[in-house]
Chain A
Amino acid sequence: MTTLLGPLGSALNKRGLTLAMALALVVLVAAPLATILVQTLYPSSAAWGDVLASRLSQNLFWRPTINTMIIGLGVAAGCVLLGGFLAWLVVMTDIPGRPAIAFMATLPFMIPSFATALAWGTVFRNGRVGGGGGLLEGLGFSVPDWLSWGMTPTIVVLIAHYYALAFTVIAAALATVNGDLVEAAQMTGASRKRILFGIVLPVVTPAIIAGGSLAFAGAVSNFAAPALLGLPVRMQTLSTRLFGMIEIGQTERGYVLAILLIGISAIFLGLGNRMLSGRRSFATIGGKGAKPRRFALGNARLPLTLVAWVICILTTILPILLLVAASLAPSSLSLFSDWTLHYWIGDADPAFARGQPGIFHNPQLLSALTTTLILGASVALAANIIGILIAVALTRQKVPVLSNLVSQLSFLPMLLPGIAFAAAYIALYGAPIGPLPALYGTKLLLALALTAAMLPFAVQTGRATVSQISDDIDEAARMTGAGFFRRLGAITLPLAARGLAAGLLITFVNVIGDLAITILLYTPTSPLLAVLSYSYASDGFHQFANAVTLVILIISMLATGAATLLRGRRRQSFT
């Protein structure tokens, strides 16, 4: 028995896991991407020409691209300004309530961007595209189109969603410069201004670039905000265009747009990276570090505190409150009167809301709820199991080339816009492969795509948990003669349990809030909550859309809260 298993076991111990993970990643990540490239490059395919150089290309590609770029750059700039400002306040100044502000500033990322977009509509919508105006029109203001629809609201909503990213990155960098580095500059007698421009800003620049390019990549690939706020006035971005192409069956053009979208996002992430690697790594050198010195705000303290809180509340609590009110008010013009629970629990009534029953009487909602929960749970489980296996493979087994491949491929989905990734899945698994049936329109395809998309996060969580378990601990178990899987089950997993559980919950939250992947891959017979909310909204049933979005938000908040509890008080602190 042992002689039989011996060689196999030891081969598995050496590189089997890495090999298995490399195969899984090829199937999940590399193959779909290769497929869209190959399919659009068949000589018979005219898709590239159609998209880039034909009468159609103006509408198909160039205009959406310009819109996408404007949104990306605008959002990146806004996020850096807003996130950087809050980071500076929290890390460098004596503003009161720093931990609370730091916590609030990381929350917007937990709220799906379609929730913020819907909340924008409740206030600024005008009657131009039907469905009634919003709160401002109800108060008697006439809201101009540019404020209701299109570019401006899209950019504002996306800034409100992504500035949390820039905040986190910049605050972490500022925290390293504060203390000794600034004091060393003070010893020379340099003025405050000189310290800011000579020391603080240059050290933080890489973080600013990183935060900006992350926000850019997020904004150009976002689907929900431009779809909800731009499509009604025919503002197209690459992601909405791509969605439209696939929806009307022009899949090859869709694939070309997907490749171009990946390209744009990759170019900017690459540029950011290049600027970073051109400079030296600014890892500050360890040491006990002095207590951070706080810049006294003096007279500006009160106004700046107010500004900070207004930003935090406008981007977290207020959108949620608006959605609550808007899901209860029959008239979108007056959000705070005649509240009714009809949109939640009412029966179908021809006199009310064109006969639509409340969401809890909509059989689709109940099926969407269960589908979403089951899908979220299984994707979270699958992604995190693969994530921890990859993390173990990467930290415990060093196989030349293969380890590098695994590491790169598992990070790749991070750089891929969700909607383009979904298009790639349709391209590969939409048609039968040999004996395997076509997966298009099945939940399995959706689950596979979401699993692959969540991998970068799951691997990161896995690595964090695995790295907490030192090599020594594993080696101590090895000395007793325990095999690889025995050690994984008896040592690694029990120690990693808490971190893994938190990782599972966060993945779950990301899955149920996703619209970019699910909008292309959902099964019409049992849609998901996010898709349901989107289709309610695009049909003009805003109250219902808001109510469904709130259901998603409540589930997300419960899961996020549980994750925070599990992680204990280990949350990042910059203060």
Chain B
Amino acid sequence: MEQTWELKLYIAGKTLKSETALRNLEKYCNEHLQGRYKIEVIDLLKKPQLAEGDQIFAVPTLVRKVPVPIRKIIGDLSNEEKVLVGLNIVPVKKLA
């Protein structure tokens, strides 16, 4: 099942937390969803009107739009296992 994962990362400015989150996310995607993902970073400071649509209240928030159902992970995504479980990603290789 070759499906593209559409991920949105909502941040509010370049903070330490948002940098960490983005770094972590890219790392996990590269490892487990090679070539099957799209990451869109939305800075709410620049586009505050988008916060309501995806029901964002915390930042950073990662939203999985596709595949449905929508899942959300908030935080700097520092716990890989939790992120993978949260996004329902089957790890490519067994985690050590």
Physical interaction between A and B: no
> Could you list which residues of chain B lie within 8 angstroms of chain A, going by C-beta atoms?
none
